[in-house]
Amino acid sequence: MTKRIASVPAKHISAAEAAALVKSGMTLDYGGLSLQPDLFDKALAARAGELSGVKVRAVLSTRPVAIVEADPEGTSFEYYNWHFGGYDRVKHDARRTVYIPLNLGEVPDYYRRFLPPTDIVIVRAAPMDEHGMFNFGPTCAWLRATIERAKTVIIEVSPGIPYVYGPANGVHISEVDYIVEGSALGLAELPHAPMTDIDRAVARQLASEIDDGACIQIGIGAMPNAACSLLVESGIKNLGVHTEMLTDGIIDLCKAGKVTGARKQLDPGKVVFTFALGSKYMYDAITRNPEMEIHPVEYTNLPHIIMQNDNAVSINNTTQMDLQGQACSESDGHRHLTGTGGQLQFVRGCYASKGGKSFMLLSSTYEKKGQRKSRIVLNLTPGNIVTTPRSDIMYVVTEYGMTNLKGKSVSERAKALIGLAHPDFREGLEREAFENGLLPRWVRA
């Protein structure tokens, strides 16, 4: 862990005094998720109209951002985001935030190699411990790299941030320039998406492919959580966890005794993640729990690290797939919804693992403006972003079955994916595939 040295011993100041340090044209970093500042954000918002061209980076805003609400035109504060949540999606629709493309595990490298030093990093953290450390709680991500390259570091101390163990999950007081006594605002909770019969049908098929001792990564959403529920009920044992996001479903697996980490090559016995987002039930489970270990995102997400655990398994959602196997998981045309996150890196890392597998889950249809549409299509929605290329896709799962695309020709892929589509769309998809040259003559003979 590289340490920066503060220019002067840390000084306690008010949120208003901290906000007064900001000058027009500066770049700030809010950290994001549970560490998004509270009192500082409100104090800075009070300067809307006074400042101009202040750039603020964040990731997955878990509650309204005061500087955005106070400056609807963005003349004072420009808001940039590494991954969208629901709030960010709405603000993007209003042209009030901009997405930054990435592979999540590479972001520390962006800060260290490509981005100029950030003028001010301001994040919430737990109260200082006996070693002089301010703990980042359930969000580690790329904070260490951000702090290393910062001109000024401000910590907004909050008793609402729980203490989570990890070798680089915090900042020492010697690296901090200013301390603001923050509020006791708790962590944002992510409600469980209700499981449907389709979610269970998809999860049931992939659960049969997960072996004892597998080391799993679980993505966000109802389908991956359904997979966790089925694994809880199964006879599987000795699972390991090396994941980007820690979810309630993984905690369920741990509490059911399904996770031991005994067969992991890296960090045996530990559940490894880079951020946690879920319910109080989950936050309570990771607080000062030595079996739960948070790491920087370059450790959790880079493929050459992921592959070091044997039988690594990635389980992720997608929202649209074409007949060649391209997975679009982050946009609806030009409307940005979420982000690339770590999906592609886990797909590649798990494939490279000895005995590894990756699963891409999707329901066969969705409803839009009262019409049922197929998620499996000949042509992607114009403007849709390909998150995982066709060459990387392994298992694809819908409620109608599962196929492994590795080694399949274009025509074999098209036939296999048509078989996973809703029956009402199969005939049309096969006709389109033939008319556009994806199927050879003998397939239609």
- Residues labelled catalytic: 244
C-alpha separations of 138 from 111, 172, 324 in Å: 21, 17, 38
The distance of Cα 65 from the centroid of its chain, to the nearest Å, equals 19
> 241: which strand partners?
216, 271
End-to-end, the C-alpha distance of the chain in Å comes to 63
Tokens of 434: 């033939």
Q: In 3D, which of 430, 277, 420 has the Cα closest to residue 360?
A: 420
Do 68 and 97 touch, CB atoms closer than 8 A?
yes
Compute φ and ψ for 332, nearest 5 degrees: -125, 90
391 exposed, middle or buried (CB, 10 Å; 0-12, 13-18, 19+)? exposed
Q: What is the DSSP letter of 34?
A: G
Q: In 3D, which of 277, 233, 234, 239 has the Cα closest to residue 258?
A: 239
Do 275 and 245 touch, CB atoms closer than 8 A?
yes
Query: Which amino acid is it at 149?
Result: R
CA distance 362 to 377: 13
Q: In 3D, which of 196, 224, 197 has the Cα closest to residue 210?
A: 224
Label the pairing between strands 365-368 and 327-328: unpaired
CA distance 392 to 404: 11
* Residue 53 CB partners (closer than 8 Å, separation 6+): 24, 25, 76, 78
